[in-house]
Amino acid sequence: MQQEELEQIRSINHHLRQAIEQVEEGVLMVGGDHSGEMGPRIIYVNRAAASLTGYEPDELLGQALSLLYDPEHWQHLLERMAAVLQAGRTFEMRRDCVVKDGSSKAFSWTIRGMKDERGEPLSFVLTLRPVVVAEVKSEASSVKALEADRDQMIEEKLEQSRVESLAMLAGGIAHDFNNELTAITSNLSLTRLETDEGTELRQRIDDSLEACKNAQSLAQQILDFTKGRTPLVQVVRPGKLLKKVSKLAMMGSLVRSELSIPEGIWGVEADERQLRQVLSNLLINACQAMPDGGVVQAGIENVELAEGEVEELPAGRYVLTTVRDRGYGIPEENLKKIFEPYFTTKKTGSGIGLATCLAIAHRHGGTITVESNLNAGTGFKVYLPACGVEQDAASVRQQGKRMEGSSQRKQEVIAGQGCVLVVDDQDAVRQSAQRLLEKLGYRTIAAADGQQAIDLYRQHARTAEPVSAVLLDMTLPGGLDGEEVKDEIRRMDGSARVIATSGWFDDGAESQLLTQGYVGVLPKPYAVEELSQTMHEALRN
């Protein structure tokens, strides 16, 4: 820094200090470390602050801020200082100031936090202005309301920041989690193709693939919660879902399930992922209530409720799912608390499982009730509004066959040919995708970053077998991202067929990508059936 610039800075600082010394309000600057019991130390005080408190400036320098602040509210200020710093705004409060003679005087305070370039606490600036007695008396009630509003504003700002940070973190975790699941799902589906139907090994692979779907659903549920995503509502067959969830919930435990799912159960309009979460939580809780083993009884039935029969629910048709264990039971004093957020009696419990279940049921127009007896077990009842009418058994069986046939056609593996460029920075994901594609009949080349992908596409464009399609990960760290790679490839070849894949797509991204030059979108994790169909559609169009 030039000597002239240093002199300018010194001059500005001198004039600022002189200006602060002239104001009638007291000005205090304290250090950024507010972790101590006595709070931060005073590092600057103007003449007005010293005069208002009865001290000399030198007597205040180096003293803890708690020397002056209302001791009754001191801990409250310490707890709020982090929120003040995070919010980046100036906050006001009415608090007493303890002056030199030990008496208290009413002051109007402001406080603002300052951070350095790394975001670390640098200092806090406080101002104080006397409040006349008449003003204190006339505004006593409004002051309390104002303080409460401002405290709430700080809390809401901090909570908003936490939620935004959590949403960003959840998106990153979901992406990485789905990347890992892609390698697992791809290898399992590849192994499934090489095993005989009806064997025990094939069944284990199918169970593992179903567990991968559940794991993906869990990641999606976190994102739904943190990002406030709109539920994907569709008609769900609750009996079929209960069978799947029950099988997975019992795995690895000494507990077995007894299911009662009669024919003719009505459908429900629900987000299947969220309904799966409710059933899974209740079944897992039932298993944990019987650590030495036992039987969980779960069933579904159609019920018609009269007005007032179940609290909160209007009269009408509902699908009732019951989950009952024969475990320890829940003490009566805890029974009314179990749906409260963060209430738990488990050493490792979070206390949000049942609260989330009830919130999901309410969101779908239903509710959950519970009854329990100590050492006799607990029963949960989930009521959800029905959206269909009961059908005769023959009709149900025929519909089931049609649905199963449709599902099989949808899940068929379609072979293909041509050269596919796989672009992904994750070695395991890239290699598993190549193995699946080669099993389907494609030839593959691979790139770990965007520039390598562009170079490979250009090289093969001059050969007898150019690239037929590109399977492109959208989140390539460092260098070119997926969008830039697609644009560059399309500049070289306007007819290039690029398929976007990622561990996480934002709301509406899939439909939007199809209007931006991509011929297909393949969310991770994907099995061989999904990959084969996406490739088939991309190359056919």
Inform me whether the pLDDT recorded for 406 exceeds 60: no
Closest CA to 233 of 202, 207, 268: 268
What region does 312 belong to: left with phi over 0, alpha with psi -120 to 50, or beta?
A: left
Inform me whether the pLDDT recorded for 271 exceeds 80: yes
What region does 262 belong to: left with phi over 0, alpha with psi -120 to 50, or beta?
A: beta
Closest CA to 274 of 229, 324, 317: 229
Q: What is the pLDDT of residue 72?
A: 82
How remote is the C-alpha of 519 from its chain's centroid? Answer: 30
To the nearest 10 degrees (0 to 180), the angle between helices 200-227 and 272-288 is: 110
**Given the structure tokens 């607990």, which residue do they identify?**
378
DSSP character at residue 386? B
Taking every pair of C-alpha atoms in the chain, what is the biggest distance, in angstroms? 95
Place 380 in a pLDDT band, splitting at 50, 70 and 90. very high
Inform me whether the pLDDT recorded for 315 exceeds 50: yes
Segment 435-464 shows an average pLDDT of 92
Ordered structural domains, the chain, with CATH: 3-138 (3.30.450.20), 232-408 (3.30.565.10), 411-540 (3.40.50.2300)
155-200 confidence digits (pLDDT tens):
555 545 555 555 555 555 666 677 777 778 878 887 888 888 888 8
Give the Cβ contact number of residue 288 at 10 Å. Answer: 15
Segment 523-532 shows an average pLDDT of 86
pLDDT over 70, % of the chain: 77
275-304 confidence digits (pLDDT tens):
888 998 899 889 988 888 899 999 999 999
Map 172-209 to HEC letters.
HHHHHHHHHHHHHHHHHHHHHHCCCCCCHHHHHHHHHH
What whole-number distance in Å separates Cα of residue 334 and Cα of residue 336? 6
How remote is the C-alpha of 6 from its chain's centroid? Answer: 49
Give the Cβ contact number of residue 300 at 10 Å. Answer: 21
SS3 356: helix
How remote is the C-alpha of 146 from its chain's centroid? Answer: 33
How remote is the C-alpha of 415 from its chain's centroid? Answer: 37
Map 26-81 to HEC letters.
EEEEEECCCCCCCCCEEEEECHHHHHHHCCCHHHHCCCEHHHCECHHHHHHHHHHH
What whole-number distance in Å separates Cα of residue 48 and Cα of residue 53? 9
Closest CA to 234 of 262, 272, 206: 272
Q: What is the pLDDT of residue 175?
A: 61
Map 272-331 to HEC letters.
HHHHHHHHHHHHHHHHHCCCCCEEEEEEEEEEEECCCCCCCCCCEEEEEEEEECCCCCCC
CA distances to 18, 52, 189, 483, 506 from 177, in Å: 58, 59, 18, 22, 16
Q: What is the pLDDT of residue 260?
A: 92
What whole-number distance in Å separates Cα of residue 224 and Cα of residue 313? 26
SS3 13: helix
What whole-number distance in Å separates Cα of residue 507 and Cα of residue 220? 12
What whole-number distance in Å separates Cα of residue 126 and Cα of residue 91? 10
Contact 202, 527 (CB under 8 A): no
Q: What is the pLDDT of residue 254?
A: 85
- 495 versus 475: the higher-pLDDT residue is 495
Token pair recorded at residue 431: 């290699």
Beta bridge partners of 26: 128
Question: Does the global pTM surpass 0.75?
Answer: no
pLDDT over 90, % of the chain: 25
Contact 519, 535 (CB under 8 A): no
Q: What is the pLDDT of residue 405?
A: 39
